[in-house]
Structure 1
Amino acid sequence: MGVSRRNYILMMGSSKRRSCCSSSRSSSWLVMLVLQLLVLMFQLVAFMGLHQGVEAQGSWEIVQNNAGIASMHTAVTNYGTVVLLDRTDIGPSQLPLPDGVCRNDANDESSTVDCTAHSAIFDPVSGTIRPLFIQTDTWCSSGQFDADGTLVQTGGDNDGFSKIRTFSPCAADGDCNWVETTTPLQNGRWYATNQRLPDGTQVVVGGRSTSTLEYVPANGAPVFLDLISNANDAQNDNLYPYVHLLPNNQLFIFANRDSILFDWTTNSVVGNLPTIPGEPRNYPSAGSSAMLPLSGFNGWTDPEILVCGGSTYGAFLNVAAELPASISCGRIAPLSATPAWAMEDMPLRRNMGDMVLLPDRTVLILNGAANGAQGWGNAQNPVLTPVLYTSTAAVGTRFQSLTATQIPRVYHSTANLLPDGRVLVAGSNTHQFYTLTGDLPTELRIEAFSPPYLSGNQPSINNPPSTFPYGSTYDFSISGGNPDLIEINMLSAPYTTHSFSQGQRLLQLQTTVPVEDFFGAYTVTATAPPSAVIAPSAYYMLFAVSQGIPSQASWVQVGNN
């Protein structure tokens, strides 16, 4: 690569012996040397570019080698801490409760006296874990944050079937803990989905052998939905239905391969949407879904829903772990005059994948397996490679494969966006009890994935607001990044379980042209969402994004509280 030391000496020696020769020969030698140096520079630039290309695929790090529990349900609080939650009827975990604290439960199917934790609060910055006490079984339950940041958690199995629990977050070194309320659900729910509504309540949809939806706090009797009935589905591929609040105040509800528009103010189905082609998409076939980002620049209209992955029918019913997972994604605009599914293929087959909306308005899809379905021992061939989906790119160019992890994450794994732009990945337990050996052991390690955008120069918000009333404007002072390519984006903190992030939402705020100040920073005026229909009142992570590179998020409470 370039001129060797020996050749350089020979060239110099040759030039000295021929110093009497013509100046044209000397010029030729100089030209050759310059060309060699140019080659060296070109090769160096090419090498640096290749190296940057490798870094640009993202990176993984283990942030906790032993969390003590395999998190089946995960949620990020407005303190930046992370709630980890597993089932209780699983026998002892690897995380002890404080001395003298034990769970006594005569109904427990495994340990009537259990002195280990099945929930914890985790600090992703320091890596510290504090055990939390929870009494009733949260196996395959559901949840969502309220406007004040309280996590409301509903249902489960056994003695948790009709239970409502709350968790008011605190810092990692605080003393917050779970509270078991005395008001039960009207219908017991196992494998249900929660969605926060504009009026401050939560709708809880479906569950195994539960073909209704209800509201928490209760608001009338439960409402029957044929969409989530088990009558026509022996495999019950309608569990953990995908529920999204649309900007026209209707709910998009998807189960198995069908979906409806539901008016929660009148408790009525107002539209039936086309059947998505391909395989079953909900638990236990286990695809995933996200509503693509909404934008203030188009008046918060034209929502689109993305559904990816799933399993061949029968993979769960017949415990046929060799059957292939789905490779397809469907995308639909449910409020268009003629809604239809636009189909495209992922780079890899995947079930049990988790979709995470990223602050640059892309969708990260990670975790899962290429064969089988959800359930104990029902999956094979873990998919280690995440993919990035860019909804604004042309068809055929929307997917990008990223750096693979070394840790399989299959049944009962989760993925959640952190305020620093990383994605926290936890859990994976394909066994009835904790099994720490074998090909797919119970996974107690917690990882963080740094998406490609974290390799760039991050902007920063100098004056983050703490509250953001509906329809108000705010002047953000931003340092770093490119002022000509700046966005202000808000993301909710969902409750993630079983390949679906309940309540996940990304809002691109309408902004003005940046104005530079005397100190090198610049001001961008952003307008808050107009109402709770667009942004149900809650804490959101607020990012400044420059050329696709996000700042550290600030927590902002959106609404008129």
Structure 2
Amino acid sequence: MKRTAARTLLLSLLMSAYLCSLAMGQAGAQGQWKTLPYLMPINPVHMALMNNGKVLIVSGSGFVSTNTSYEAAVWDPRTGTITRQPLGWDMFCNGMVVLPDGRVFINGGNLRYDPFLGEVRSSAYDPTTGQFTDLANMAHGRWYPTVTTLGDGSVMTFSGLSEVGATNTAVEIYTVGSGWSQEYQSGWTPPLYPRMHLLPNGNVFVSGPAPVTMIFNTTTKTWSVVAPTNYSGMRTYGSSVLLPLSPVDGYKPRVMIFGGGDPATVSTEIIDLSAASPQWQFGPPMSQPRIEMNATILPNGKVLALGGSRNDEDATTASLNADLYNPETNTFSSAGANAFPRLYHSNALLLPDATVLVVGGNPQRGTYEQRMEIYSPAYLFSADSSLATRPTITGVPGAIGYGGAFQVQAPDAANIASVVLMRPGAPTHAFDMDQRLVKLSYTAGSGVLNVTAPPNGNTAPPGYYMLFILNSAGVPSIASFVQLSAFTADFSLSATPASRTVLPGGSTSYTATVTPGTGFTESVSFSVSGLPSGATATFNPTSVNGSGPTTMNVTTSLTTPLGAYQLTITGYSGGLVHSATVTLIVGLPALP
């Protein structure tokens, strides 16, 4: 009896060792999947990676028509904490990108369920303060819009259902500091959540999901037809990626579309938009059909295609295999398999440590997949599946200017084979509106990389990027965040006095002062947030050129509530934004 038990135990140990060895062996070839030991507490309909390394999650009503407790959350990958916070309105089914100053821009959302109507509102989440601030309203509502950051840092919004339920066929463009443009009527009815990409020539390409693809000329504000896709149906909830841009070929823009349709297709297509007469060509097929999928660019330029199902919102037909597309060989390889169906409202997001977060799945109202998965690509492992030695970045400038030279401190600079900028992602509904990879030219010195920034904002829109270096084995570093801007010179903003006290109905003033950095001569305009109800503020002068003060006059009313209020004075200059805080106390002054 004891001998039999011993044999059973030995066999069990040998089998466990074999399975562990098999899993580790696959890690070096396919990467490794793991499930996190905690759950996502809100439906992760929208996500955006911020320049502090944390992830903003926006759920709104979370696809529950009776839910009026609208929510967002912030996930910190380093600590594993998820901090929830309420929202003032339903940002469910918005469009989302990150502004050049690092704030997350939320455009439109849900005004009503069944039938769905679009919100006219937009908001910005500040990762520094942890607060949402509503911005100027659009001309008409948008539910299911797509937003695209343009080369000057402004944001184009298109499509979505309006406040009366019709498709919004107009383009509007939002600029920080000045608000929304006029409407530019398109003359055609776009699909909801169109797949849009900024091209290096400054125009915007719509790759689907409809079979007719279009280009928006950002100068003339006109549209033109490009080419029909080979797949004749709607690629509903398929995905689209602007493949990596490189200075080697003049930043040739190529767009790849994946899957979609119901039942879904395994097919992919690629178009070279630098061609004299661009045409879609079939790419290699994926291993499984995918609707409600995700496609995520990795630092090595490969694209991770995962999730979805053959039939829409049907977990029994879930596509659990993950595929890895190599643009250099035009082939797919296996990236293993994830554990849980990832259907409607699922998302995938590249993290600063070069892993990928995979969350969500919400095919039925009221329930969603709470389990969170992390994919560690094969580049993080050696051939024997032990952890690879990663190159390190020990120093990088916080801000870089277009076409300028900058240095990256890297002890193993001589062994670096690639330097890339990756715009942090903002995925929702099977499409990432913000991800982008731009390869950089560089030379290696002793412990330093001499790097040339992208030439302009059309190649890489202004804002924060993850800078990765990859060694000769293709192993990426942990990313460092840098801010890319047309302005290499900067300014600072200060405000005095720190506090003022007024009676209700009284007025007071503060002085905000612009101090220029080396070479800064631009105009700075101002705004203030945090005013109590019944209070107003004006600036004199409204803008400052290069340097100098402005006076902020604050007037309260007799109905302004008593209390202490933190006011945030913000200065804007192109893509540069700086703030200073002061306190306004409404009440009786302190006794001497």
TM-score range, shorter chain: 0.7 to 0.9
Deviation at 1:90, TM superposition (A): 4.6
RMSD of aligned residue pairs (Cα, Å): 2.2
Give the 3 Å change call, closer, same or farther, for CA 332–137 of structure 1 in structure 2: same
Deviation at 1:63, TM superposition (A): 3.0
Distance 1:147 1:305 in 2: 24
Partner of residue 268, structure 1: 222
Partner of residue 31, structure 1: none
Partner of residue 337, structure 2: 404
Distance 1:64 1:462 in 2: 31
2:119 paired with 1:146: no
Partner of residue 394, structure 2: 462
Partner of residue 518, structure 2: none
Partner of residue 558, structure 1: 484
Q: Which residue of the other structure, out of 402, 419, 429, is the alignment partner of 1:498? A: 429
2:51 paired with 1:119: no
Cα displacement string for residues 267-319 of structure 1 (whole angstroms, at most 9, x for unaligned residues)? 012x421111125455xx2110010011123332x21000010114xxxxxxx
**The residue matched to 1:489 in structure 2 has which SS?**
strand
Partner of residue 79, structure 1: 52
Does the 8 Å contact 1:142/1:193 carry over to 2?
Answer: yes
Partner of residue 224, structure 1: 185
Partner of residue 298, structure 1: 249
Distance 1:83 1:308 in 2: 26
What are the within-5 Å matches in structure 2 for residues 61-460 of structure 1? Answer: 61-63=34-36, 65-88=38-61, 90=63, 109-112=65-68, 114=69, 118-158=71-111, 161-170=119-128, 176-181=130-135, 183-208=136-161, 209-217=167-175, 218-229=179-190, 238-255=191-208, 256-269=210-223, 271-282=224-235, 285-300=236-251, 302-312=252-262, 324-344=263-283, 345-372=285-312, 377=313, 380-393=316-329, 395=330, 398-433=331-366, 435=367, 442-455=368-381, 456-460=388-392
Does the 8 Å contact 1:274/1:340 carry over to 2?
Answer: yes
Q: Which residue of the other structure, out of 426, 429, 450, is the alignment partner of 1:525? A: 450
Cα displacement string for residues 419-469 of structure 1 (whole angstroms, at most 9, x for unaligned residues)? 000111111111222x3xxxxxx1112221111111122111121221111
Partner of residue 500, structure 2: none
**The residue matched to 2:157 in structure 1 has which SS?**
strand
Deviation at 1:64, TM superposition (A): 5.2
Partner of residue 18, structure 1: none
Does the 8 Å contact 1:70/1:426 carry over to 2?
Answer: no
Any unmatched runs of 5+ in structure 2? 1-19, 113-117, 162-166, 382-387, 488-575, 577-592
Any unmatched runs of 5+ in structure 1? 1-46, 92-108, 230-237, 313-323, 436-441
**The residue matched to 1:187 in structure 2 has which SS?**
coil
Distance 2:293 2:144 in 1: 17
Does the 8 Å contact 1:63/1:124 carry over to 2?
Answer: no
Distance 2:478 2:292 in 1: 29
Distance 2:377 2:310 in 1: 22
Deviation at 1:225, TM superposition (A): 2.4
Deviation at 1:226, TM superposition (A): 4.2
Give the 3 Å change call, closer, same or farther, for CA 50–357 of structure 1 in structure 2: closer
Give the 3 Å change call, closer, same or farther, for CA 378–385 of structure 1 in structure 2: closer
Cα displacement string for residues 480-530 of structure 1 (whole angstroms, at most 9, x for unaligned residues)? 48x355111010012210010002110000112x23x3xxxx332110011
Does the 8 Å contact 1:144/1:152 carry over to 2?
Answer: yes
2:417 paired with 1:486: yes
Does the 8 Å contact 1:64/1:447 carry over to 2?
Answer: no
Q: Using the TM superposition, name which of 537-546 and 335-344 deviates more.
A: 335-344
Distance 2:89 2:217 in 1: 33
Give the 3 Å change call, closer, same or farther, for CA 286–326 of structure 1 in structure 2: same
Give the 3 Å change call, closer, same or farther, for CA 281–379 of structure 1 in structure 2: farther
Partner of residue 17, structure 2: none
Partner of residue 320, structure 1: none
Does the 8 Å contact 1:429/1:443 carry over to 2?
Answer: yes
Give the 3 Å change call, closer, same or farther, for CA 303–111 of structure 1 in structure 2: closer
Cα displacement string for residues 309-348 of structure 1 (whole angstroms, at most 9, x for unaligned residues)? 0114xxxxxxxxxxx3111100001231121111032222
Partner of residue 37, structure 1: none
**The residue matched to 1:261 in structure 2 has which SS?**
strand
Deviation at 1:122, TM superposition (A): 0.6
Does the 8 Å contact 1:206/1:240 carry over to 2?
Answer: yes
Deviation at 1:62, TM superposition (A): 2.6
- TM-score of the aligned structures, taking structure 2 as reference length: 0.72
Cα displacement string for residues 111-165 of structure 1 (whole angstroms, at most 9, x for unaligned residues)? 45x4xx6210010111101112212112211011111101110111116611101
Give the 3 Å change call, closer, same or farther, for CA 429–50 of structure 1 in structure 2: closer
Give the 3 Å change call, closer, same or farther, for CA 458–290 of structure 1 in structure 2: same
Partner of residue 508, structure 1: 439
Does the 8 Å contact 1:466/1:556 carry over to 2?
Answer: yes
Give the 3 Å change call, closer, same or farther, for CA 361–281 of structure 1 in structure 2: farther
Distance 1:166 1:220 in 2: 18
Partner of residue 459, structure 2: 534
- Which residue identity is paired with 1:110? T
**The residue matched to 2:33 in structure 1 has which SS?**
strand
Relative contact order, CA 8 A, sep 6+: which one is greater? 1
- Name the one with the larger strand percent: 2
- Which residue identity is paired with 2:335? L
Deviation at 1:198, TM superposition (A): 1.8
Which runs of 4 or more aligned residues in structure 1 lie more than 3 Å from their structure 2 counterparts after TM superposition?
47-55, 217-220, 226-229, 279-282, 377-380
Does the 8 Å contact 2:43/2:62 carry over to 1?
Answer: no
- Which residue identity is paired with 2:124? T
Give the 3 Å change call, closer, same or farther, for CA 347–89 of structure 1 in structure 2: closer
Does the 8 Å contact 2:397/2:407 carry over to 1?
Answer: no
Distance 1:219 1:266 in 2: 17
Cα displacement string for residues 149-206 of structure 1 (whole angstroms, at most 9, x for unaligned residues)? 0111011111661110110113xxxx5122233x211121111100111222100011
Cα displacement string for residues 17-42 of structure 1 (whole angstroms, at most 9, x for unaligned residues)? xxxxxxxxxxxxxxxxxxxxxxxxxx
Deviation at 1:56, TM superposition (A): 2.6
Does the 8 Å contact 1:279/1:311 carry over to 2?
Answer: no
- TM-score of the aligned structures, taking structure 1 as reference length: 0.76
Give the 3 Å change call, closer, same or farther, for CA 462–162 of structure 1 in structure 2: same
Distance 2:314 2:189 in 1: 23
Aligned residue pairs, count: 446
Give the 3 Å change call, closer, same or farther, for CA 54–198 of structure 1 in structure 2: closer
2:426 paired with 1:473: no
Distance 1:212 1:205 in 2: 6
Does the 8 Å contact 1:457/1:480 carry over to 2?
Answer: no
Deviation at 1:380, TM superposition (A): 4.6
Task: Determine what percentage of the aligned residue pairs are the same residue.
Answer: 30
Does the 8 Å contact 1:273/1:334 carry over to 2?
Answer: no
Distance 1:480 1:407 in 2: 39
Distance 1:50 1:149 in 2: 39
**The residue matched to 1:429 in structure 2 has which SS?**
coil
- Which residue identity is paired with 1:508? K
Partner of residue 98, structure 1: none
